[in-house]
Chain A
Amino acid sequence: MEVTLTVNGTAHALDVPDNMLLVEVLRERLRLTGTHVGCDTSQCGACVVHMDGCAVKSCTVLAGQADGADVTTIEGIGAPDDLHPMQAAFRECHALQCGFCTPGMIMAAIDLVNTTEHLDEQAVREGLEGNLCRCTGYHNIVRAVLAARDVM
């Protein structure tokens, strides 16, 4: 099927199989490998991207469902010399170790800050329940999200 979508500001028209997932489009067709696949049950959140401004698990979105959508991935929110406040906070607070969950965690956290009015520690912990991290024990991720909240 024919799918057109905008990813990180660039328009793409792609011919994809009907069962192709958005994460496969991103990783395999567009070679945007910052978005990761950590499970097969939509539990881990390593694949979270923004679709039309909302966080989605891109392993659970068909490419066809993203037709016409505006998609932002981890590669689209900042650069090493121009970090998004959430990226900067993750570095400042040592909120990552192996880095595998990090792109999805950052994308989910940005959405959480954008959509939550009174974001305290408990709200961060509950809001990130759909993103698994095996390295950090979440301690510094929570600190980073709260720090980014204050500057976003």
Chain B
Amino acid sequence: MSETGIGASVKRREDLRFITGAGRYTDDIDQPGQAYAAFLRSPHARAAIGAIDASAALQVPGVLAVYTGQDLAADGIGDLPCGWMVKSKDGSDMIQPPHPPIAVECVNYVGEPFGLVVAETLQAARDGAEAVAVDFDALPAVVDPASAMQGDQLYAQAPNNRCYDWELGDQAATDAAFARADHVTTLDIVNNRLIPNAMEPRAATGCFDAASGDYTLYTTSQNPHLARLVMAAFVQVAPESKLRVVSPDVGGGFGSKIFVYAEETAVTWAAGKLRRPVKWRAERAESFLADAHGRDHVTKAELALAADGEMLGLRVSTIANMGAYLSTFASSVPTYLYGTLLAGQYKTPAVYVGVQAVFTNTSPVDAYRGAGRPEATYVVERLVETAARELKMDPTALRRRNFIQPADFPYETPVALVYDTGDYEASLNRALEHVDYAGFAARRDAAQARGKRRGIGFSCYIEACGLAPSQVAMSLGAGVGLFESAEVRVNVTGSVTVITGAHSHGQGHETTFAQIVSERLGIPFDSVEVAHGDTSRGDYGLGTYGSRSLAVGGSAIVKATDKIIAKGKKIVAHAFETTDEQIDFTEGVFAERDSNRSMTFGEVAFSAYVPANFPLDELEPGLSEKAFYDPGNFTYPAGAHVCEVEVDAETGVLEIVKFVAVDDFGHVINPMIVAGQVHGGLCQGIGQALCEHGVYDASGQLVTGSFLDYCLPRADDVPSFVVDTTVTPCTHNPLGVKGCGEAGAIGATAAVMNAVTDALGVKELAMPATSEVVWRALSAA
């Protein structure tokens, strides 16, 4: 292995700009003559919009315009669409209420934009927004998802406030499994609402060139091409060919920056109206109110077992909160990213899941790190652990009893997926070594002597990543293909520019993708540049989410490099007057078989651009290749997470004293970066378990609307982690990789809550398990 090739912990080239303050995030980029937008946001959870009086606002010095939803609608601006059509079990389409970017007749959650003020300065825009007078007719709000179907009907087309009633699996077979079970474990689970909170608030600057009619949008997007597509095809701000979307450095996303929101749409439109750039940056309070939230499921789950621990059937019924509108991919999260994962790592032969998605007067809920898979893992792993306790079996033994075995792959689950490979016991064994499971009993006794209760919990998760095989996704309702594109441009002097449709907002693609190309082409790491995040630079791309960038985008890059090598062989064969079958390519050298003639990669690049005597009907000049890669299957990262906690029996204060994560991501390109991804995911998973909670009061006001009220984990809330990997290479992509971005957040939450409930000796405990929750549980016991 070279120092910069596949498998090396190469230091990130991105870092130099970030550690010196030279990063360029959307809010760092100003345009000449730019104006500033402030959005008018609903103070009500649900209200009819009456008269909007902007006269005072227009008198505020510097205010240029006040726009309402009616202005956008009158200009032909369309609704924000949901890109995944889910069908109910009766075959009917999901219900998609109209979602104008700027509300026109009614507001349906606190913080929903119903207008914007544009001014010469940000202060003037905010002062103008303060001066707008609105007659709202407040209406009763529906807030709680569990009772939403009995609440006031929010949309005429959505009886019972239901978006869809979806099912997956064989209900009769599952019911039969329960009928013959020796034991049934039942849990009522609330998967708490989370607010993503990437550290960079969303921002957008719309620009318009009146001479050409071209629009440019600088925005904090995880997928600029998708933003362009939606804004062109659905919202109809500008034709695709007239809209350039640039996502420069983006300060974290975790899903929340996948979606196409009102604000970037409106500032781009406003730039065209005012013929000058319009900039907006969210205050954190706006991020809390108007970024799509995550999770928020209410579930009843049952596991049927034989007396010896064999898992016979799993039955799950979930109410999923969609919020007030369907965000871009909201409908897919509690269905195809959730129900399909409920087999977990186990051979449970019968699984049935029903999901009712409901509308409430809360911020839209969509994909947040893991997106459906953390919710599935939480259901399965809490059930398995609880079942082990009820059957008085060791929780690791119960899991081993039911693991899908290496010889079983490819393994078709009862919930529509085909796992390609894995070795779940290997990850569990490694995790148990790291945590010293054999020594746990002694540690528990020692803690007891100190007045502490110690508990241990496990989570053996699986996820489906590498979104996605377009054929599968589109047959299930996806409105877009989910391939990825790559272009490998070999420059005349032999350096290489790689353009990827994936987008990096912390993942380090500029480093890892260069490692891949450097190794594949046998050229120095420093000769490879990676570009992304600008629709004017690359072909269509689908961006970064669902741990897809390496498995799908990296595979596209490999495919493009293969084409470069094939073209290079043709060039060399021509030079040597032989056939390209006679040319071998290894470590940057094209060599003729059975001869001593060869050309370096640099020589071939140069000759491609000085085609003095190319047979032009057979061989084009130049050395630049594009590839689109559509995966044959999902990838299936899996692993074992183990958490040990100590609880102070007097105060309820809880400490994670050990956290071990052993993950199988297939081959690893850069172990340093992979470990970093796991650390961050674990912190978010632990945050869900112990402190994060998005709370609305009964009237629909967001109670946790700032970092003072919403507990984002801080450095002293989490431990140092032990992370390790096992490897079963993915069988169907050229790198044998699976994806690592979400695993931490998928696996950790159940491990923590299994440890906490073990320490407390309780069956169920609501998340987040704050000291108060723990103390109350201890007091009740």
Contacts and interface: CB of A to CB of B under 8 A. Distances in A.
Real complex partners, A and B?
yes
Interface in A107-144: 121-122, 124-126, 128-129, 131-142
Contacts of A139: 679, 718, 720-721
Contacts of B17: 80, 99
Contacts of A32: 21
Interface in B10-62: 11-12, 14-25, 27-28
A50 interface: no
A97 B707 contact: no
A64 interface: no
B23 A34 contact: yes
Interface string B144-181: 00000000000000000000000000000000000000
A91 B524 CA distance: 21
Interface string A20-46: 000000010000111111111101101
20 contacts: A33-B28, A35-B21, A37-B27, A40-B285, A41-B284, A44-B284, A75-B22, A97-B506, A97-B680, A99-B23, A101-B199, A103-B19, A126-B715, A126-B716, A129-B714, A132-B199, A134-B199, A134-B252, A136-B680, A139-B720
B12 A94 contact: yes
User: Which of A39, A137, A138 has the most C-beta atoms of chain B within 10 angstroms of its own C-beta?
Assistant: A137
B21 A135 contact: no
A122 B17 CA distance: 29
Given A94-B673, A98-B199, A125-B716, A134 B254 contact: yes
A42 to B, nearest CB: 9
Given A39-B706, A41-B706, A92-B11, A137 B721 contact: yes
A55 B110 CA distance: 36
A43 B714 CA distance: 10
Q: Looking at A121, A135, A142, which has the most chain B CB atoms within 10 Å of its CB?
A: A135
Contacts of B714: 128-129, 132, 138
B197 A134 contact: yes
Given A43-B708, A121-B720, A131-B715, A140 B676 contact: yes
Contacts of A134: 197-199, 252, 254, 680, 684, 712
Interface of B: 11-12, 14-25, 27-28, 197-201, 249-252, 254, 283-285, 505-508, 672-673, 675-677, 679-684, 706-708, 712-716, 718, 720-721, 744
Contacts, number: 177
Nearest to B21: A34
A53 interface: no
Nearest to A145: B715
Interface magnitude class on chain A: 35 or more
8 closest cross-chain pairs (CB), A and B: A34-B21, A99-B18, A100-B251, A137-B683, A98-B506, A97-B506, A74-B21, A43-B707
A152 B285 CA distance: 38
B23 to A, nearest CB: 5
Nearest to B11: A91
A83 B21 CA distance: 12
B680 A142 contact: no
Q: Is the interface of A mostly helix, strand, loop or mixed?
A: loop
A34 B477 CA distance: 43
A7 interface: no
Contacts of B249: 98-99
Contact of B18 (A96, A129, A140): A96
Contacts of A75: 20-22
Contacts of A132: 199, 707, 712, 714
Contact of A46 (B199, B506, B681, B721): B199
Given A80-B20, A91-B19, A133-B199, A97 B508 contact: yes
Nearest to A82: B20
Nearest to B25: A100
A58 interface: no
A127 to B, nearest CB: 8
Contacts of B28: 27, 33
Given A129-B716, A131-B715, A73 B680 contact: no
A140 B19 CA distance: 14
B676 A136 contact: yes
Given A98-B250, A137-B680, A87 B20 contact: yes
Given A134-B680, A138-B715, A33 B284 contact: no
A99 B11 contact: no
A80 B682 CA distance: 31
B680 A106 contact: no
B514 to A, nearest CB: 16
Nearest to A121: B720
Contacts of A138: 679, 683, 713-715, 718
Nearest to A73: B21
A34 B17 CA distance: 9
A91 B672 contact: no
A91 B201 CA distance: 24
A102 B18 contact: yes
B252 A100 contact: yes
A100 B715 CA distance: 16
Interface in A53-101: 73-75, 78-80, 83, 87, 90-92, 94, 96-101
A39 to B, nearest CB: 4
Contacts of A137: 679-684, 713, 718, 721, 744
A41 B680 CA distance: 23
Contacts of A91: 11-12, 15-16, 19
A27 B203 CA distance: 15
Given A38-B199, A100-B199, A101-B251, 13 more contacts: A34-B22, A36-B199, A43-B707, A44-B707, A80-B22, A98-B199, A98-B249, A98-B250, A129-B714, A132-B712, A134-B684, A137-B744, A140-B679
A39 B251 contact: no
Contacts of B718: 137-139
Contacts of A34: 20-23
Contacts of A106: 19
Contacts of B680: 97, 134-137
B602 to A, nearest CB: 27
